[in-house]
């Protein structure tokens, strides 16, 4: 017969590990007697309940699908700002930046959003981008533009992708997508109301 003390120590160890895992934020999946712990997408390591809540709220501010591409993950706060500043090669005006990946973690189909405190600042930055890119560059083709209602949509090609950028009130939107998915995804993008991001900001 096995030593009762060893059995008790083994059970206590299992309970300790279980309590440590249960105390972490995230999602648990049970398969029989085995419980797997899943960290929410976009977070590495141990994430707080507040961080997970912000991620879920932010995910609700993006289209769930663009064409056949599903929302995969959302990047927020310092990480998203660092990525966008690096793309521009400088620190942008004070704004909140959000990034949404569609399809998979390695997908190049990415939505970049910057929320400014007012439409004027967003308009200034949009015009600056358009003027800088108007004639194209070593990376991007010359800009084309389409006006729908009061909104001007800019389009360019670069790095094997289609790129669209435009403004909705105080929000700047840049979407890069694989060329064969451009038409369907951009149509769905235009249908989405990004002003829901302002409602989110008012709660911060």
143 alpha-carbon distance from chain centroid: 25
The hierarchical CATH code for the domain 49-202 is: 3.40.1000.20
Please state, as a whole number, how many other Cβ atoms lie within 10 Å of the Cβ of residue 6: 9
pLDDT tens track for 29-87: 332 332 222 223 444 344 444 444 455 566 778 999 999 999 999 888 777 778 777 77
Report residue 199's pLDDT band, with 50, 70 and 90 as the boundaries. Answer: confident
Q: How much is the average pLDDT of 96-108?
A: 89
pLDDT average, residue stretch 138-164? 95
Q: What is the 3-state secondary structure (H, E, C) of 140-200?
A: ECCCEEEEECCEEEEEEEECCEEEEEEEECCEEEEEEEEHHHHHHHHHHHHHCCCCHHHHH
pTM for this one? 0.70
The enclosing H or E element of 50 equals helix 49-59
Phi-psi region of 126 (alpha: psi -120 to 50; beta: other; left: phi over 0): alpha
């Amino acid at each position: 017969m096995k030593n009762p003390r060893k059995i008790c120590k083994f059970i206590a160890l299992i309970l300790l590990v279980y309590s440590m895992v249960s105390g972490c934020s995230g999602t648990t999946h049970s398969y029989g007697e085995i419980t797997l712990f899943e960290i929410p997408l976009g977070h590495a390591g141990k994430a707080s309940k507040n961080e997970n809540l912000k991620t879920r709220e932010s995910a609700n501010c993006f289209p769930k699908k663009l064409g056949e591409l599903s929302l995969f993950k959302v990047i927020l706060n310092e990480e998203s700002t660092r990525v966008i500043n690096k793309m521009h090669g400088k620190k942008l005006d004070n704004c909140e930046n959000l990034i949404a990946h569609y399809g998979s973690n390695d997908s190049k189909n990415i939505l970049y959003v910057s929320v400014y405190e007012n439409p004027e600042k967003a308009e200034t930055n949009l015009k600056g981008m358009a003027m800088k890119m108007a004639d194209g560059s070593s990376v991007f083709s010359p800009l084309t533009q389409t006006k729908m209602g009061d909104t001007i949509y800019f389009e360019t090609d670069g790095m094997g992708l289609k790129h669209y950028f435009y403004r909705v009130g105080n929000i700047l939107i840049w979407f890069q997508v694989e060329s064969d998915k451009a038409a369907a995804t951009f149509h769905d993008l235009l249908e989405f109301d990004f002003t829901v991001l302002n409602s989110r900001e008012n709660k911060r």
